[in-house]
Structure formats: structure tokens, C-alpha cells
Amino acid sequence: MLVLVAPGQGAQTPGFLTPWLDLPGAADRIASWSDAIGLDLAHYGTHADADAIRDTAVAQPLLVAAGLLSASALGTGPLAADAAGAPGAVAGHSVGEITAAAFAGVLDDTSALTLVRRRGLAMADAAAITPTGMSALLGGDPETTIPHLEKLGLTPANVNGAGQIVAAGTLEQLAALAEDKPEGVRKVVALKVAGAFHTRHMAPAVDALAQAAEALTPADPRLTYVSNKDGKAVETGAEVLQRLVGQVANPVRWDLCMETFEKLGVTALLEVCPGGTLTGLAKRALPGVKTLALKTPDDLDAARALIAEHGA
């Protein structure tokens, strides 16, 4: 069984979209999406520097656009429930959940990009209220690490499995964490993000996103959609949309998503552009599962072969 996944914020790098725009029709598609959301996706994906694409309001729509573009380059199979090569499940990490919602047919591409544009702007505004950030903890036991974080006033914003938890909170709280690591944690790495995503600090963004969601008409998923909230498959489009709204202020449970993949019988995991992060986690948490990350169009042939072998 194939699982198709989409990465979250932080996966982007300067110029990562450049080779994808050489594919037939890709530049026109990106231009159309750019006009629809009022953001020059081609510029930010090709010429902008690391600081420019770190901006939450830019990074989020850029990642969703890249995921949709790279998946479409694979052909119709991965995105059609009744086609050869259809995945057994789809999921995304954080903002990648919106990409996955489009894969599952809950939102069309333009609606997904409109929603993520509003999400990015709202989360950037929320992040500007209080100086906050996020740090990744490598190693350690969640049963020890999470109480330690809570003692410092931090939130385990991403419980990613494979020995990785991301803590989020104020800069002062993160500085205290760097000086006082939980037992068993090998390393604390400050992440280059603009705020404490998936925590109470994002509460103002929830209301803004809820208003944007009211204008959308979601369809029920045509593929199994696995949610960050609790790793469960969601059966209705209305609930998918409701979860997308609430998730900006609640922890990402990617560990539970991977547990669900295992229960479903996953044999291969394909990560859309800019892939790498989620395949890395899967290699450690899902031994024996074949993984492939779409980084450039050079990876498309290998991805199609993986789909042919493991898709429905």
C-alpha cells in the first residue's frame, strides 16, 4: 500500500521550484495560482533568498503549490481513487495537511491555495504579537521529554516520532530549554521559523482561518485522509476543514499518523516536493517501508515505478 505525504514549513530552500517550472504547463499553472492568491510564487520559488521564503505568509502557499505541482507531474494515478496507482492514504505535516486535502479531493487546487494564503498571513500576524519560536529535540523518551517541556512552559508542538519532538514557546522559554535539556535528549536545534506554531500563541489565527473556511464548500475525501490531530482517518470534508482550522493552535501528532499508516499496511511512502523530511522520519519509524522523496523532476521516473509497484 502506498501513502502519499506532503511536508510542512521548513522544508523549503532557495530556488527549489526552479527545475519544476521547466515541465510542460508548469509555469502557466504557477502563474495562474499566483494571480488567484496575489503572491508571485514563481519569484519566491526561484529567485528569493532564504530569509524571504522563511516568511510564514510566503512559505506556506509556496509549499502547497510545490506539492500540488509535483504530484500532478506524476500523472493522474496518485490523485484518483479509481485509477491504477492510487495511494491507500494521504496525509500532510502541518501546512502539508492542506496539500493532502487537495490530493484527497476535499478542496480543489485554487481553494487549497486560497485557504493556505489566508493561513500564512494569519499565522504571521499571530507570531508578531509575542517573540516566539520552535526548537527540535533529538533523542529522548516522550514520557520524560514532554513533562520536562511543560515544566518550562513549552508546548510539544510537533510529536514526530522516530525520536523527534519539536518544542514551541517564547524565546526565553526556548533559551531555558537549551540550558536544561530533558534526560536522554542528545541535541536541541533552534528552527528557522517565525513563531510558536501549533500552540496557544496561534489562537488569533484560528478565528481568521475559520472565517476563510466559511467561504469554501469541501467535498468528502475520495482517498483515505489521515489527520494530524490524532492520526485518525477523517471521512467527511466538513470535518477535514474543521480540523484544518483548529490544527494551527494544536500539536501535530505525526507519530500517530505513522502508526495509522502501519495499521493500514503501508509498504511504500512517497513524499511530494520539497521532499526529504517525512521520508527521513519514516525510515526510522517504519522499517521495511520503501520511501522516496520528490526533490527534482529527476525523481519522477523512480516515483512512477514506486507507484506502479505499491499503488492500488
Q: What residues are labeled active site?
A: 94, 198
User: What whole-number distance in Å separates Cα of residue 89 and Cα of residue 155?
Assistant: 28
CA distance 255 to 168: 17
Query: Is the CB of residue 154 less than 8 Å from the CB of residue 168?
Result: yes
| Contact status, residue 9 vs residue 94, Cβ threshold 8 Å | yes
Secondary-structure breakdown of the chain: helix, strand, coil percentages, each rounded to the nearest 5: 50, 15, 35
Of 11, 34, 21, nearest to 96 by C-alpha is 11
Q: How far is CA 308 from CA 1, 74, 84, 85, in A?
A: 11, 11, 8, 6
CA atoms within 13 A on the CB side of 174: 21
- Is the separation of the CB atoms in 44 and 53 below 8 Å? yes
Strand duo 132-139 + 225-226: pairing: unpaired
- For residue 231, how many other CB atoms are within 10 A of its CB? 18
